[in-house]
């Protein structure tokens, strides 16, 4: 009666068009087909799997110690076999009841046929009605079984339920990368692999982390200022060295370093982009131009925090870190530093600014 199909749309998507049955039902009910496919795929309605239940039960009953993966998996399998048993016994019961009922009705009709002529059409019609009724009951059984299996799956297979925080050093590494690439915190696939290796997590976990970090940083920048300063200071030394080296290398012609007053937060990406282009143009040799630009850009990011921090100087008193969301454009997205916004399609403008996150 309820909508297990609606509640778990994923499964309908998964099982909707997978297995082509050898026998096609006359009424090709798509819902019934989905249920059948799913039950088959989950091993509920498939072959009986002889020692499956015994093995699972034994494994489950073996030891109740650590919360390891194998224990949970066996537990899952035990419950699945339990569901399957219930399903099969119920199905058998329904089948038996159906047969008994039909024979009963047939007997009744036969008795009546003595007093009244009964056409075979009528008998057929009655049988059809009975079968339809019982098949609808069967479908309800299948549906509730599907629901149970899905609940079981979500109970055991949802990674959200066994989430563990990353190690301290892993978050350290990730934060370092994030805040030193604050203007464009989108690590490439290679960078993601590198980070995953360093943190001993998977690449998709790195992607998850950056997705969460970006959205949460953007949503409440004030909450992350402390952290930003901390990690900027942490990489300050190396960043300073690198920038110094880069500047020295590029100062063959002394670009007079105008160093516009971008002290209190008006440090926008367009500036960085110009800087990058200038350097590229005056560098002469265009090789690795993008790389140098990116490096300098990241250094600028880290240095910005250092400047803000050292500018405050009074470390016990003011602590008024008041720099603005420099890296975010008006729409609330990170500005793309790599694509210099070519003139081809200026379709989007600063339309609606409704970003007032006051929680």
Could you tell me which residues come within 8 angstroms of residue 331 by beta carbon, excluding any fewer than 6 positions away?
A: 350, 353
User: 276: exposed, middle or buried (C-beta count within 10 Å: 0-12, 13-18, 19+)?
Assistant: buried
Q: How far is the CB of 342 from DNA (least distance, A)?
A: 16
Ordered DSSP codes for 43-71: TSSS---TTHHHHHHHHHHH------HHH
Q: Which is nearer to DNA, 280 or 329 (CB)?
A: 329
* Site membership for DNA, residue 211 (CB under 7 A): yes
Q: Which is nearer to DNA, 216 or 241 (CB)?
A: 216
Q: Which is nearer to DNA, 94 or 186 (CB)?
A: 186
Q: Which is nearer to DNA, 205 or 283 (CB)?
A: 205
* Site membership for DNA, residue 212 (CB under 7 A): yes
* Site membership for DNA, residue 6 (CB under 7 A): no
Report yes or no: 359 and 222 within 8 Å, Cβ to Cβ: no
Residue from 1, 2, 3, 9 that binds DNA (CB under 7 A)?
A: 9
Q: How far is the CB of 8 from DNA (least distance, A)?
A: 8
* Site membership for DNA, residue 207 (CB under 7 A): yes
Report yes or no: 149 and 82 within 8 Å, Cβ to Cβ: no
Half-sphere exposure of residue 305, counting CA atoms within 13 Å on the CB side?
27
User: 221: exposed, middle or buried (C-beta count within 10 Å: 0-12, 13-18, 19+)?
Assistant: middle
- With CA atoms as reference, report the closest residue to 294 among 307, 275, 281: 275
Q: How far is the CB of 328 from DNA (least distance, A)?
A: 10
Contact segment (CB under 7 A) with DNA among 36-44, 152-160, 241-249, 255-263 equals 152-160
* Site membership for DNA, residue 169 (CB under 7 A): no
Say how far apart CA 64 and CA 58 lie, in whole Å: 12
Q: Which is nearer to DNA, 124 or 158 (CB)?
A: 158
Residue from 20, 121, 160, 354 that binds DNA (CB under 7 A)?
A: 160
Half-sphere exposure of residue 346, counting CA atoms within 13 Å on the CB side?
6
Residue from 186, 193, 194, 247 that binds DNA (CB under 7 A)?
A: 186
Task: Supply φ then ψ for residue 334, to 5 degrees.
Answer: -75, 135
Say how far apart CA 41 and CA 36 lie, in whole Å: 8
Residue from 104, 132, 223, 241 that binds DNA (CB under 7 A)?
A: 223
Of residues 319 through 348, those in contact with DNA by CB under 7 A are 332-334
Residue from 208, 260, 263, 341 that binds DNA (CB under 7 A)?
A: 208
* Site membership for DNA, residue 22 (CB under 7 A): no
3-state secondary structure of 145: helix
* Site membership for DNA, residue 200 (CB under 7 A): no
* Site membership for DNA, residue 209 (CB under 7 A): yes
Point out which residues bind DNA (CB under 7 A). 9-10, 154, 158-166, 171, 186, 189, 204-205, 207-209, 211-212, 214-216, 218, 223, 332-334
């Amino acid at each position: 009666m309820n909508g297990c199909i609606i509640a778990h749309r994923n499964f309908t998507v998964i099982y909707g068009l997978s297995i082509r049955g050898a026998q096609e039902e006359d009424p090709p009910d798509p819902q019934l087909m989905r249920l059948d496919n799913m039950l088959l795929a989950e091993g509920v309605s498939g072959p009986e799997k002889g020692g499956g239940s015994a093995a699972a039960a034994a494994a489950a009953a073996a030891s109740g110690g650590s919360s390891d993966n194998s224990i949970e998996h066996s537990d899952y399998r035990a419950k699945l076999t339990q569901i399957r048993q219930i399903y099969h016994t119920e199905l058998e019961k329904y089948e038996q009841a159906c047969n008994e009922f039909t024979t009963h009705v047939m007997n009744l009709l036969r008795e009546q046929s003595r007093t009244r002529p009964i056409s075979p059409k009528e008998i057929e019609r009655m049988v059809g009605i009975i079968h339809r009724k019982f098949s609808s009951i069967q479908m309800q059984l299948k549906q509730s079984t599907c629901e149970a299996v899905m609940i079981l799956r979500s109970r055991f297979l949802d990674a959200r339920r066994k989430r563990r925080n990353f190690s301290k050093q892993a978050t350290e590494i990730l934060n370092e990368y994030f805040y030193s690439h604050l203007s464009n915190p989108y690590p490439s696939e290679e960078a993601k692999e590198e980070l995953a290796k360093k943190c001993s997590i998977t690449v998709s976990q790195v992607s998850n982390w950056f997705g969460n970090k970006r959205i949460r940083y953007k949503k409440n920048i004030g909450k992350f200022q402390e952290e930003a300063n901390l990690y900027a200071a942490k990489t300050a030394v190396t960043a300073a060295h690198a920038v110094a080296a880069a500047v020295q290398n590029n100062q063959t012609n002394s670009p007079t370093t105008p160093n516009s007053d971008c002290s209190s937060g008006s440090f926008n990406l367009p500036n960085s982009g110009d800087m990058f282009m200038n350097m590229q143009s005056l560098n002469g040799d265009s090789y690795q131009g993008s790389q140098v630009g990116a490096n300098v850009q990241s250094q600028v990011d880290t240095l910005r925090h250092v400047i803000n921090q050292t500018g405050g100087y009074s470390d016990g008193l003011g602590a008024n870190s008041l720099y603005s969301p420099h890296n975010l454009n008006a729409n609330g997205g990170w500005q793309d530093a790599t694509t210099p916004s070519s003139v081809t399609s200026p379709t989007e403008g600063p339309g609606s600014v409704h970003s007032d996150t006051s929680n």
